[in-house]
Structure 1
């Protein structure tokens, strides 16, 4: 097994990053040990300064950030975090700047470019993306629990409509997306109105399929699947959040 394969534990956020990793311009003239790691599948994002004659490289493998430190001779490399005498992780900052930050931005852009229904004011300062199936009872519970933040104007939810739970879910999702007033139709649905599936133009049906594909590529399972920012980083909640998780998703205590 290669060194890279041994160091990777691909979690949910890594799956998000992998699905939206932008094209990188790899630094030129890489030392031989780093080139060997590139041949194993590693992607080098940027070179950075490191102490004691080391040269650092911010890299990733299958979406997972990896730090590499090359010795002064250029003939040997160490893969892993560099720690100082106080136990501070010196690898965190360059990995956040050169790997995680661009990955998070790419994921967020894919979510923004998906097909969603706005819930709340477009001027609300906090945006949260929710993969929502019309047949999901927990999606309705989340919609209801979010009312205080929505009504206070603190949060806007972007409901990415998917059809994954039942055979008629895609048709119901397409009906909501294709409604004359999707916001009103979605609100009525969450207040108890049944969605009567109706034939929609091919482009609307494709929007649901595109959303389904995005959900799958991001490694999300089940609804609601919620993607939000916390401390400048992306986080995920799957299923109906408990009270503590709800505060994290919404970014504040209940108004």
Structure 2
């Protein structure tokens, strides 16, 4: 899959060098591979570059559109989420590769609650076993390659692994298509999503997830003072930013270096 890279060099020469390195690629490479190529280029060729170079790439995916139920031959629309990578290459050959996804919006209309949380005299929120749950996932995962020499001789398909992780995150969030899976809290679901990524992919050393609550509250206009107003039966919802919470956690393998 070809990628489009937004280049934000400090001056025109940096951008030209990046374009030249892209042109020198004789085949399609992943964002991560291209970041390594750039990192090695800047650390090996220019003495004014310090001990290391960090390359950050963000890809906004274009998705083929369908017209009358058929994929269009040359029509595309811009996807919502972003594929990201940050690669640090040192002059010594040491390597750090992080990849991720930003703005990955997920929503379930049922099979979600918020219960079992710690309660004290300040707690006002009631427990519930039925609610809409929505979030916008930001995920980062680190690959175990610590030196350029550790990169597989056969090109490791970072792009495919990104698609795999994206699918695992969604599958764990939603559950089976027929029945779904119950979530007692976003915290619980976040942990299960991160754990499943580490379980499925031994080539990922750690994963960090950030999942803010995006609330959709049922509208209810009835009350003791206005009994004649319409009472909605949980079929009209209002998006709201309050109350707001962001759930974040990092999971890593026992022998992983964070």
TM-score by length of 1: 0.23
TM-score by length of 2: 0.23
Q: Which has the larger radius of gyration?
A: 2
If asked which structure has higher relative contact order (CA below 8 Å, sep 6+), I would say: 1
Higher helix share: 1
Higher strand share: 2
